[in-house]
Amino acid sequence: MRPNAFGYCCYYARARYGRLMLEHRRANGREVLPASWLTTATAANPADRHYRIGYVSDGEYGFFNGGAFGQIVYVFTKYRVVIVKTTLYSDLGEAETLTVMRAVAAKVAATR
């Protein structure tokens, strides 16, 4: 395997997953996951109004789920854009990540 082949597969898989979520569980017009799965995965958690079971709400922008070490699949329902981040946490922290992702998604949406 080439050194960058693994990275590409992971970006591609995560982006497809994000698009599946953006398209309400559909791929090429075909339902891939049952409605109950998405309803459960994005249902509010009574213990924390921002956290979903597997997802974190970003209010009007959409939702995201995070993986180990700062990996994120962000589904911007507001802009119909999916962004995948696979970089590790840095010493600089993650405080600006969502702000930057929102700005990028808005710019991408504006180019359509």
Checking if the pLDDT of 48 tops 70, the result is no
Sequence-distant (6+) residues with CB within 8 A of 53 are 40, 41, 42, 43, 45
Mean pLDDT score of the chain, rounded to an integer? 79
| pTM across the whole model | 0.74
Identify the three-state secondary structure at position 53: coil
What domain range is 27 assigned to?
A: 5-110
What's the pLDDT score for residue 107?
97
Say how many Å lie between the first and final Cα of the chain, rounded: 36
Work out the average pLDDT over 100-105: 93
Q: 11: how many CB neighbours lie within 10 A of its CB?
A: 13
Checking if the pLDDT of 60 tops 80, the result is yes
Tally of structural domains, the chain: 1
